[in-house]
Copies of this chain bind each other. A is one copy, B any other.
Amino acid sequence: MVDKIEKNQICALLDEKKGWHVDNNGLYIEKVWEFANFQMAFSFMMRVAFLSENMNHHPEWSNMYNRVFIRLTTHESNGVSLKDINLAQQIDGILGD
C-alpha cells in the first residue's frame, strides 16, 4: 500500500514550472508534451515505457501525432502517491527538463 498525498503536498513536491498540473480533487497529475514530429513523440513514449516497466507503475497516456499527454495516478491509493511524483521526475529527466 502506498499512501495518497494531499493536494497541497503534491503541489509542493512538483516543480510547477515543469508543466505538471494537479486536478482539482488531487486524484491525478498530468502533463502535455509537443514534439517536432511523430517519430520524436513515439521515441519519447518508448523511454517512458522503459521507466514504467522498471518501476512497475504505468501511465494513462495518449498520443496524437506530435503530442503526448500523460496522466499519473496510483489506483491502489485512490489518488496521487510518491510513486507518481517519482515517475514524473524520471519522465522529466528524459528530456533534461
Contact residues of A with B, CB < 8 Å? 38-40, 42-43, 45-47, 49-54, 58-65
A-B contact pairs, 30 of them (CB 8 A): A38-B49, A38-B52, A38-B53, A39-B47, A39-B51, A39-B53, A40-B47, A42-B49, A42-B50, A43-B43, A43-B46, A43-B47, A43-B50, A45-B45, A46-B46, A50-B50, A50-B53, A53-B53, A53-B54, A54-B54, A58-B65, A59-B63, A60-B62, A60-B63, A60-B64, A61-B62, A61-B63, A61-B64, A62-B62, A62-B63
Number of copies of this protein chain within its complex = 4
Prevailing SS type, chain A contact patch: helix
Nearest opposing residue in chain B for A49, CB measure: B42
- Residues of B near A60 (CB, < 8 A) are 62-64
**Cross-chain contact of A38 among B45, B46, B58, B64 (Cβ < 8 A):** B58
